[in-house]
Each structure stands twice: as structure tokens, then as C-alpha cells.
Homo-oligomer: A and B are copies of this chain.
Amino acid sequence: MLNFDFKKYNNKFLDHSNMHDYDDAIDVIKRRFIQGDLSYWLDAKTYIKDDELSKIKEIANYVRNNADVFVVIGIGGSYMGSKAIIEALSPMYDRGKPEIIFLGKNLNPNEYVETLNHLKDKEIVVNVISKSGNTLEPSIAFDLVYKIMKQKYGEDELQKRVIITTDEEKGKLRELVNIKGYTSLVVPTIIGGRYSVFTPVGMLPIVVSGIDVDKLLIGVRNANNNYFDRAVDYAVVCDVMYKNGKEVESFTIYDEKMMYLGEWLKQLLAESHGKEGKGLLPIVNINTRDLHSMGQYLQDGKDIIFETVLAIKNNATIQLDDYSYDLNGLNNMVVEKVCEAHQNGHTPSSLIWLDVLNEENLGELMQFFMLSTIVGGLLLGINPFDQPGVQEYKNLIMDELNK
């Protein structure tokens, strides 16, 4: 369960006059989601079908029994969502087998050399994820890992150990599936990369890690059924902040395990809203760690930031001898006091509480943010589904490579 508090520490900006300006726009948008062209976003089946999920569970079962290392190759939306969920819900220490390594998210030679060395003498299963099949980074990573695997395994083994997640019909990777008969999953056409965490793109690595995806999907359905209006409210809050001159949204997270959820949020917001010279710049702060870092800027720096705080209400806890609080109570008190301190400065805060950090709540939270991001993009008057800017550097590099 999520608990939303958008008003308590936002007084400076959220008077009622602000909010009612949005009534007509919101009306139009809600209709598009409820009976209109965007209604598929409120149906969990859009992301994954039952038969796809059963197939993924079968594949995952094979991976868990036959791999020391599961190499997930992809960049951007192809890996950030599953990485975010796996980091948030896995133990900090001693995760056991299979080790999950994300590769193909950069071109850093040292990382490839160290990782390829690490893979030697290990049983490997690879999952390469790319809709087009020709994105530079994953293509190179797959070439390198595939080469090792071909030395290690015969064709029959490779058919189980090479799993390709790509477009249903087109592209180099789909051709490879057709020629070699490798196991494959489909990247849905109607869901863009940064929204694809609950599709086969994100689901296979998540199931392999041992996380309960059925509970995750219960969370997605809960968000669709119960939190759509709150997602709209939140999108309005952010738009009010933006119109009032805030240029930066800080996702302030009180659990270091959710650091990659922060990275996922940055991609979701930056690629959805950061275009046509518009958009809030998303940043992430991990508290209380960053109160001794960026905290100084949020308190006394330029007045350009507002906060969306993500905190967990009920954690495992420890009794503390020298304090009137247990550790969990102390942490929750600090969450509120920091919002108070920031409001005394010039940084308003919206609070989102998870009652606990688990599959269901993470599903609710991520679906909540996907819905609010789409709504926010429509309020901003941009297309929340494209990412024209990402193409520009790709073109310059392709021109160079074609020389």
C-alpha cells in the first residue's frame, strides 16, 4: 500500500486556485485513459499476457538450474527497470546463484575485459534485449559474449542458453532466432523502452532473480484500479511546481537499495518530458546519506528544486539504547523533520510512503509513476512517448562508423 501526502510540505505552491486551473485539461486526459486511446495503459495485460508469463517462468527455471551467471545485455529501458526491482528486493549480501550481470550498457573497455575474464570457466546463460537488434552497445556486448559461448557450447546447448528478447518480426536478432531456433521473447510494439519493465523485457531477469512477479503484477493492477487519480494529482503538483519556476525535481529516497529505482525514474522523466526546451530535470538524492552532500544545496542553494520523497514506513527495526526511538521510528521522524527543514528553506516536498518494501508496493509505485509521467507530459504539451534527442548522437556515431 502507498500513502500519498502532496500537501503537508507544499503550502508555498499548492493553493486551491492553482489546482482548479487544471480541471478542464484533466477532464480531457482522464477521458482518454478511461474510455479513450490511452486506456490500454490501465490494463496490466498490455504489458504481459498469461502465456508469456508462464513461458518466462519456464525459461527462468532452466536458467536458475543451469547458470552460474545470467548475463543480461541491454541499455536504457531494456535493463533499468529490472535492475531497479532486483536491487530493491534482493538481499544486500550473499545473493546466491545465478549471479546476474548487466552488460552492454556502455562501451567501457575495462568493464568488458574484466567481465569476460569473470565469465571464463562459468556456466553462462545470456539474455540479449534490443527491439531494433542493432543498438551499438548491446550489439557489441552480445558479439563478445556469444563468441565465448560458441567456444564453450554446442548448438543444442546454445538453443537453451541464448535467449533473445526483440521485435516480433524485424531485425538482426529476430533473424538469428529464425535461423538458429534460439529461445525468444517479444518486445511489445505499443510500449516504449522506458515503460517496458512489466513486459517480457523486464520480467525474465526479475523472475530469474527469484522475485515474485505475480505479486509485482498485483501491485500494477492495484495502481491501475486505486491510484490513477492520485497519479493525476501528482502530475498536477509537479506541473504547478514547474509553472512556478522550479526547474529540478529531486527524488529523495530513504533506502539505498532503491538507488537504481532512482535511475529508472530519471530515465522515465528525462526521456518523457525533456524535449522542445521543456521539462523538469530529475535528480536523485539518497537520504540521510546525501543530507551531508546535496542537502546543503537543497537547503541554501538556488531556489530551483522541489522534492518527491520516497520512504518506507515499516522496516525491520532495532531497539536503540541511548534514544527514545527505535531505529525505524527514528528514521520516520527524520523523514518528516527534513521535509520541515526544507520547507523552512525554499524546497517544498511531496511525500510518498510505502508501508513496506516488497513486490506489491514496488509494482504499485512504478506503475503510479508511469501513469503520472504520461499525464504530466500531456499537461506539458509534449509527446511523452518519443525520445528524439537520443537519436542525434546515434546518427553522428553511425556516420562516423560508416566512413
Contact = CB atoms under 8 A, between A and B. Distances in A.
Contacts of A305: 281
A106 B286 contact: yes
Contacts of A266: 290, 293-294
Contacts of A299: 389-390, 392-393
A296 B389 contact: yes
A43 interface: no
Interface string A290-316: 111111111111111100000010011
Given A76-B292, A279-B302, A331 B270 contact: no
A324 interface: yes
Contacts of A108: 254-256, 315, 331
A143 interface: yes
Given A92-B114, A113-B316, A396-B340, A278 B292 contact: no
A344 interface: yes
Please tell me how many copies of the chain the complex holds: 2
A277 interface: yes
A270 B137 contact: no
Contacts of A337: 393, 396-397, 400
Given A337-B396, A389-B345, A105 B270 contact: no
A111 B401 contact: no
A275 interface: yes
Interface of A: 75-77, 80, 91-94, 105-116, 118, 136-137, 140, 143-144, 193, 247-248, 254-257, 263, 266-267, 270-271, 273-279, 281-283, 286-305, 312, 315-318, 320-325, 327-328, 330-331, 333-334, 337-338, 340-342, 344-345, 357, 387-390, 392-393, 396-397, 400-401, 403
